[in-house]
Each structure stands twice: as C-alpha cells, then as structure tokens.
Chain A
Amino acid sequence: MSKFKFAMYWAGSCGGCEIALLEIKEKIVEVDQNYEVVFWPAATDFKYKDVEGYDDGFIDVCLFNGCIRNSENEHLAKVLRAKSKVLVAFGACATMGGIPGLANVASAQEIKDLVYRDSPSIDNPDGIYPQERYEVPEGVLDLPHMYDTVKTLDQTVDVDYYVPGCAPEAGQIAAVLDVVTAALKGEGPLPPKGSTVGVSPKTCCEECKRVKEEKKITSFRRIWEFLPDPEKCLLEQGLICMGPATHAGCGARCTGVGMPCRGCYGAPDGVLDQGAKMLSTVASIVDAPTPEEIAVIAATVPDPVGTFYRFGLPSSLLRRARV
C-alpha cells in the first residue's frame, strides 16, 4: 500500500509546534509507517519549488503551524492550501494568531523602529533598517514583506480543521493523527469540516483538579508575588487564570503545577471572543462596593491585552489596534 502524503509547515511561530509533534514519541514510528513526508522544512530538505510543483491535492494532510506575519507566510499558506486535501491549522498561532499576534497593538513600522532604533540596547547610529530588496553583484537579495497586521491561517485561506494549543498537547496530536489516518484508510469518518479537534468538551476548569468555590477578588496578583495555595482555585487567589474562558483539552497541566492558565487552547465552543469573555468574567467577580474601589482593583490587572488576548488578538473582535 502506498503511503499517504504528509506535510508540515512553520510560518510565523516559535517552532514549538514542530517539537510538539515529536512529543508523541514512539507514535512517530506509526506516522512513518502510514505517511510519506513530502514537505517539512524543519525536518527534511525540500525546497519551496518542490511543493509548488506538486499537483493540486497531492498532499493528503498538512499540519500548518504559525501565524501569517509576512508575504512568505501568506504565499506558503496559499500554496499548501492548493496542494493539500486536508489543511489543519495546527497550534495557537495558526488558529488564533498566537503570541506573535500581540504585535497587532502596533504597526510594522513601529515594531521596526523599536527593534532597530529605539530599544535601549540598540546601537544603530546610521539608522540602518532591513530592506526588502538589496542588489549585490551576484544578483538581487530579497526578504519577505512584513505586514502591519498578523492574521490567522483561516483569515488567509480556507481551513479544514483546527488543533489549538501552545503547543498542542501530545496526546491530542496522537488522537488527531489517528482519526485522520483512519479516515484516509476508509476506516472511519472525518470530523465535520471546520471542527476544532484535539480538544475536550467544556473548559479548562473541568480538567483542573483544584477546589473551586465562590470567587470574590479584592486584588490581582502575579505569580512571582506569592506561593499559591496548592489546593485552591488560582483565580480565587487573585491570579488571572484564563481557565474559565479556555477550551479544555490540555489536561490543565499548567494549573496542576501552580501556573494560571494562559488561554492557549482558545475560546470554548459558543464564545466569540475569549479575551472579552474573560474580561467580563473577571469584572463580575471583583468584590468592591464603590466604583472608586473597583478602579483601584482593576488597576492591579497586569498588561490587560497581554493577559486577556495573549494568544487570540488577531482572531478576536478587536483584531488589532488602529494605526
């Protein structure tokens, strides 16, 4: 039996998703039995022209991780969409924009100014910035064009499935691969197009073992300020834990070791904007009698955009700040 064609691509992201795939350990042997890698720049030596040369639909399944940050990401997203039967938005960046999506609070120029000119550690007296085109005797060198706005994969091309997580949990990846493999073999159905796969129903709180009681918050704290009670709900202890507004599926591993949930599994089913929803939740449990006291407590929320929209700014209703 010929193997199914597998591709994985790394767009605007950190590379953690690539490592996460290997976290499935010996299961990778099974993947190798069923799939032939036809494109995976992190692991194998294929060139863009190779994949551009495939027939449309040549690839059976493509795991696409990373956001669409620049023209190169966009080009590969379009190419891989055309060449793949099943295109999976893999990981928080591809599904929601991810950490790089927080750059949507600024324009591309503002980012470049900070990185190449204004940062205190920069010494750049000539004001040299990277250029998209540079002519050298050997020919023209070019860099991809950096966009003002980070987009998700599905804001760029049509997406078949979503696997959230930063990075997706190994057990969930293995389960997703099993489903897709079975379907390709004709042994089972594919989930409905557009599904989020590799998650559990309900929210992170369902998987979190901590004891949950009524919540009344009088001040917000950060994790370095104190040692949280190991049994009690972290939100009740003043840590902004995104668990209540985050899809289950990770096994609540962060809260299990005393780290508040950062929301990487994205909004639960039925929630349109994870950050807004969590903001509404947090606002509801602030316990103060007067608007003035509420303002004092609210001022203790560290980095609101980075807290509530840590992974989801590009896919939120806000999308980005005005430039």
Chain B
Amino acid sequence: MAEDRIAVYFCHCGSNIAGKVDVDKVVAWAAEQPNVAIAREYKYMCSDPGQDLIKEDIQQHGINRVVVAACSPTMHEPTFRKAAAAAGLNPYLLQMANVREHCSWVTVDKGEATEKAKRILNAQIHRLPFNEALDPIEVPVNPAVLVVGGGIAGIEAALKLAATGKKVYLVEKNPSIGGHMAMFDKTFPTLDCAACILTPKMSAAGKDPNIELMAYSEVVEVDGYVGNFKVKVKKKARFVNTDTCTGCAACLETCVVRKVPSEFDQGLGKRSAIYIPFPQAVPLRATIDAEKCLTLKGKKCKQPCVTSCGPGAIDFEQKDELVELEVGAIIMATGFELWDPGQDARYGYGRLDNVITSLEFERISNASGPTNGEIVCKNGEPPKSVAILHCIGSRDLNYQEHCSRVCCMYSLKFSHLIKEHLPDTEVYELYIDMRCFGKGYEEFYRRLMDEGVHMVRGRAAEVTDLAMSPEEEGRLIVKTEDTLLGIVRRIPADMVILSSGLAPAKDAKAVSQTFGFGCSGDGFFLERHPKLEPVSTITDGIFIAGCCQYPKDIPDTVAQAGAAAAGALALVDNPTVKVEPTISYIDPEKCAGCHICVGLCPHVAIRYNEELKVAEVITAACKGCGVCVAACGSNVPQQHGYLDNQIFAEIEGAMAF
C-alpha cells in the first residue's frame, strides 16, 4: 500500500473559527505531524476556491487522505466528500474535524481554543490511516409518498405531489381532514372565508385518484430508510362501512346520545355518538364514538342508527385494522395544539364564564358554528365590551419563550369581526408589541385602528370577577398596566378572549421518535438547517411542513408544504438513491452464535443462520445504527467507517498530548 499522504485544511469560517483559534499556529503544528504532507488554511473552505485547493492537492501532490478542520460534518461533510470524489479520491478517505461547534463556538479562552483545535485535528490525523475506501450502496426508490396530517399543509403537499402523478397516502388521525383551518371563519388579513378557500382543496384531496386518503388513522410504526420506508398505519374502527356510507347524516338525527361535546366546536356545541364532525367533512362519512355509543359500551339501545341507515353501513363488529405501506418519502404535517390557557390561573380560563380561547371564538364567530355566527356570551346576550389578551402562553419565560407569530393578526381579525357584527361593542386589544410582518398585515392593523378598537399596550396581569365599583358589578375585569399611559387600568368586559399561543402537539416528541428525527428545544420538529433546509429533517427522506415545525400563518404553511412536496419529489422521482455504506458486517469465523444481537436490531437486519450457527447482517436492511456493534460481547459485528481501530486511533490522537 502506498504511504499515507494526509492533507490538512483549516477553515477560518470567516471569524467564526479564526476569531478564537490561532489558525497559523495550528497549521504550522499540523504540518509537522506524521503522515501529514500538506497543511493549509483558507478563509472559507466550503467556497469553490476552498474546494479547489483540495482537488488540486489530490491531483497534483499525490494526497490520498484528507482532513478538513471546519464546521460540523452534518453541515459540510457531503460538500467536501463530493470535492474529494471529483478529484478521484474515495470520499470516505476524507474526515472532518469539527473545530467550530466543538471548539471555537464553545470555548472562551483563545489559548485553550487553539490547544483544543489541535487535539480535535490530531484525532482525525491519527484516524485517517485506518480509514477504508468505501462505495455508496445504491438502492431502488419507492415512488410513493406518505403525508402525515391532513391540515392545510398536508392537503397542499398531497395535492402537489398527486399532480405529478405520484401515489400519495394522506393519513389523518381525525375523522375528517381540514385541520385547524377548517374551524376558522375568516382568514387575516384578506378576510377570505376560510371554508370557501379550504373546502375545494379538501374535496380535491378526497377525489384525487393518486391520493389514498386514510382518515381516522394513525401511523404506529416506521421502519426502513430513505427511498424505502415501511410504515404501519392503524385504521381506527369507525363502526361504519365507509364504502357504503353515503354521508347522508340520517343516523345523526336519530342517535339517542345527543349531548357529546363537539371536538370540532371546541366543546361549545354538541354532537351525537354517531357523528360527522362538520358538514363539509372529507371523507363525508359517519363515525361512531366508541366511548359514547350505548351499543359499543354494552348497554341497551334500540340502535336507531341501524334502522335509519338506508345502505346498512353500520357495523358494530368493525375492528381496528393495521395497514402496511411502502413509500419512498414521508412528509410530516402534524400541526400544532393551542396552548392551554388553563395552565395559568390568573386568566381565569375554566373558572370564569365568558373567558374563552381564540379557537373557541373562531367557532363562535363562524357562521356554521354553535351560535350560527352570533357573537354572544354564555347567557345568549351580545357582549357590550370585549377584551382580547395577546401573548397568552407566548413570549412568556414561564411557559413558551417563542412568539407564536399569528396571534396579533388573528386578534386584529377578531376585533374586526366583533365590530362588524356588533358596531356598538367596545373592543380592547391588550398587546405587548403589535407584530404585523406579512404582506398586507401592517395595512390591516392601520385599518383596525380606524375601526374604533382600543389598543392598550400592556400585557394583561389578571382577569377577575371581583368588582370594585358598581359599574364593574357582574362583569369581568381585566387588570393591566397601560404602558403608553403609564397607569394601571381595570378594563370591564363581558367577554375575554385569550389569544393563546401555538404549542407543539403533546405527542410531538413521541411522534418524532417513531419517525426517527428530533425536536428542537421549544418542542417543535427540528429542521435539518434553520435557514437552508427548513423543510428537511436529519433523517433523509423525511420532510416537515406547517406548524409542526414552528408556528406560522397559512401562506407560510402553504409555501412550506409546496417546498416539502418538491423535496419529496426530488427524491422519489429518481429510480435509485445512494445510501451510506457505513453499515455493519459479521465475520462468520468469529461469531459464536450467542443471539445477543439478533433481537436487538431495530431494523430486523440481523438473522440467525441455523445451519452455520452464526448471526448474519442483511446488508440491504442495515441502517448502520451500531446497536449490534455495541451489544456484541466479542466485537464481531463491525461497522464500516466506525471500526474499533478507527475510533481508538481517534481517542489516542485526541489524548496524545
């Protein structure tokens, strides 16, 4: 074998690295190390001239191993490996030394940072002689795409993909798609009717021959890898045959259990035990709530639903069904939850009548809502005064630090709707800052100021029913500091709307684990790169769109859904995809057949060969997670790219001085 000729490139990353690390000192030191033939520094190694340095040295100076000391390998390892490959070097003979995230960004003292950079670099210089040349494994791509979540993001992504002719599975956990947007009356700032713009898309998604709509279903298991995911979906029993049900709603009228709080109406309206969540539901099929239905609870019922159903679609024997799907890409569009304002007792939610959430107001103001669009208090009377409290559970270090981005605008929309319905009602907006950043948003704010809404700059401190004067008697009092007037105010109101922030879904973390990517600190799904890859995740082939990633308004959600669809299409439109060859292998001469690894492999990529009495890796199924490598007591499974001698050499290099 030819002698090792290592080239070291030390990136300044502008001042990101060079501001802390004495680059010249480290490079001079590196040049003296064993096997190092060339050591260079450059301002931006990821730039074209930076990459050209690597290519030239490989081609002109016989370099056969490369270490780039720069940022995290998750950032630019592919960039540099591509450059090495372009110059004819096997890309797996290039290693990154992360001197930015692991060193300059997290080290205070310049001297220490310089010493640390040397150690990080030395680890890779020691490792490189043990690196093997590897070839990527090319696997076929399944052209179908799974979209999880049937809100506006999921619908949009599914429609875009279906339009390209790809098969799309759209999985929604609720009986109907539509998500939160279907609950809204109007949308800001254009005041478009939400239903008018959403229901055509819902209907199109329901009818598209390329979209297999799986409502009332949940993903329970995900296996596989980019291009080849195997997904298990639980189709929850509706106890209604969806093939024969026509959605005529005759059963709804006859059901004897009639007072179930409607989820769609935020509990303000009632539904029956057999129900269709809202008239425009897609699919327009009835569902029996097993927890409320007398028959399913084992109680006596004359079953009027059965007698009233013309096509005989009621089926009490129906069971949950597990369906296995094979797809090449996955788009997560699982949305958000409204932050529960009951967590902060000061606002009286759940304790004081007429303190309602923003989503409850959406339903109250909605023409097809529980009050038929009449804005009324619990007693049926229209409010004479309404206070809208911003930033409930948002921009609050006690709860959620983030700004939920939509609350200012929907609050202004509420003011407009109230003024439209009840011109004589006083409306107060209690805000910290008015954040009106989108197209037409600032203009909408100005318009509202002309509509006679009282803008009070101050975060509400408390909502109470404790009257301190006769005119406060029987009303809600919002206590706040008006920071513009510099006084503490008590604002009497008949209705208080809590503009709750957007929170990650309660099961976001569990879902992210099922699919094998992560959540950021705020609990929303973590994108691969906040700027350049906002719709990708760290798992190749899984994309994210909409509010599951971060709070956003409808235009941003739709745009992101399109981007995610494009990302998925760019993947599944290819016949094959290259996957990392860093997978494990088992030497049958060494395996003692103890079975420890067999049951542990999360990808079922290890089988026991009864004839040879040894474990075997199924190459096509192995994802290179390393579980078997860690578990084996005798180090028989080894993983390419993470061999023991490579890792020990790294440790020795890091601790060499």
Whether B627 sits at the interface, judged by CB under 8 Å, is: yes
Encoded as 1 (CB less than 8 Å from any B CB) or 0, chain A from 192 to 227 comes to 000000000111111000001111100000000000
- Inter-chain CA distance A248–B593, complex, in Å, is 13
State the main secondary structure of chain A at its contact with B. mixed
Q: Is the CB of B633 within 8 A of A278?
A: yes
Residues of chain A within 8 A of B627, CB atoms compared: 284
Residues of chain B within 8 A of A242, CB atoms compared: 633
Q: Is the CB of B635 within 8 A of A212?
A: no
Q: Is the CB of B600 within 8 A of A203?
A: no
Whether B631 sits at the interface, judged by CB under 8 Å, is: yes
- Inter-chain CA distance A268–B631, complex, in Å, is 14
Whether B596 sits at the interface, judged by CB under 8 Å, is: yes
Nearest residue, chain B, Cβ from A274:
B633
- Inter-chain CA distance A173–B633, complex, in Å, is 26
Q: Is the CB of A277 within 8 A of B592?
A: no
Nearest residue, chain B, Cβ from A236:
B595
Whether B591 sits at the interface, judged by CB under 8 Å, is: yes
Known interface pairs A202-B591, A203-B594, A212-B594. Does A284 touch B634 (Cβ–Cβ under 8 Å)? no
- Chain B 597-652 residues near chain A, CB threshold 8 A: 598-600, 627, 630-636, 644, 648
Q: Is the CB of B635 within 8 A of A271?
A: yes
Total residues of chain A contacting the partner, CB 8 A: 30
Least distance between B77 CB and chain A CB atoms (Å): 27
Q: Identify which of B593, B600, B635 contacts A277 (C-beta below 8 A).
A: B635
- Inter-chain CA distance A243–B633, complex, in Å, is 8
A-B contact count (CB 8 A): 78
Whether B590 sits at the interface, judged by CB under 8 Å, is: yes
Whether B48 sits at the interface, judged by CB under 8 Å, is: no
Known interface pairs A202-B590, A270-B590, A280-B630. Does A285 touch B596 (Cβ–Cβ under 8 Å)? yes
Whether A245 sits at the interface, judged by CB under 8 Å, is: yes
Least distance between B648 CB and chain A CB atoms (Å): 7
Q: Is the CB of B634 within 8 A of A285?
A: no
Encoded as 1 (CB less than 8 Å from any B CB) or 0, chain A from 223 to 248 comes to 00000000001000000001111101
Known interface pairs A244-B633, A245-B634. Does A212 touch B599 (Cβ–Cβ under 8 Å)? no
Residues of chain A within 8 A of B636, CB atoms compared: 270
Residues of chain B within 8 A of A106, CB atoms compared: none
Whether B317 sits at the interface, judged by CB under 8 Å, is: no
Whether B243 sits at the interface, judged by CB under 8 Å, is: no
Whether A272 sits at the interface, judged by CB under 8 Å, is: yes
Residues of chain A within 8 A of B592, CB atoms compared: 202-206, 244, 248
Whether A109 sits at the interface, judged by CB under 8 Å, is: no
Whether B589 sits at the interface, judged by CB under 8 Å, is: yes
Known interface pairs A244-B633, A284-B600, A284-B630. Does A201 touch B595 (Cβ–Cβ under 8 Å)? no
Residues of chain B within 8 A of A202, CB atoms compared: 590-592, 634
Encoded as 1 (CB less than 8 Å from any B CB) or 0, chain A from 266 to 286 comes to 001111100001101101110
Residues of chain A within 8 A of B635, CB atoms compared: 268, 270-271, 277
Q: Is the CB of B630 within 8 A of A270?
A: no
Nearest residue, chain A, Cβ from B589:
A201
- Inter-chain CA distance A243–B593, complex, in Å, is 11
Q: Is the CB of B630 within 8 A of A271?
A: no
Residues of chain A within 8 A of B631, CB atoms compared: 280-281, 284-285
Nearest residue, chain B, Cβ from A284:
B631
Q: Is the CB of B595 within 8 A of A268?
A: no
Q: Is the CB of A215 within 8 A of B634?
A: no
Least distance between B382 CB and chain A CB atoms (Å): 51
Q: Is the CB of B590 within 8 A of A214?
A: no
- List 28 A–B pairs whose Cβ atoms lie within 8 Å, in order of A's numbering: A202-B590, A202-B592, A203-B592, A203-B634, A204-B592, A206-B592, A212-B593, A212-B594, A214-B595, A215-B599, A216-B599, A233-B594, A243-B594, A243-B633, A244-B592, A245-B634, A269-B634, A270-B635, A272-B644, A272-B648, A277-B633, A280-B631, A281-B596, A281-B631, A281-B633, A284-B627, A284-B630, A285-B600
Q: Contacts A203-B594, A272-B648 known; list 9 others, CB within 8 Å.
A: A205-B594, A206-B592, A212-B593, A213-B595, A248-B592, A268-B635, A269-B590, A269-B634, A281-B596
- Please give the residue numbers on chain B whose beta carbons come within 8 Å of chain A beta carbons, in ascending order: 589-596, 598-600, 627, 630-636, 644, 648
- Please give the residue numbers on chain A whose beta carbons come within 8 Å of chain B beta carbons, in ascending order: 201-206, 212-216, 233, 242-246, 248, 268-272, 277-278, 280-281, 283-285
Q: Which 3 A-B pairs have the closest CB atoms?
A: A214-B599, A244-B633, A245-B633
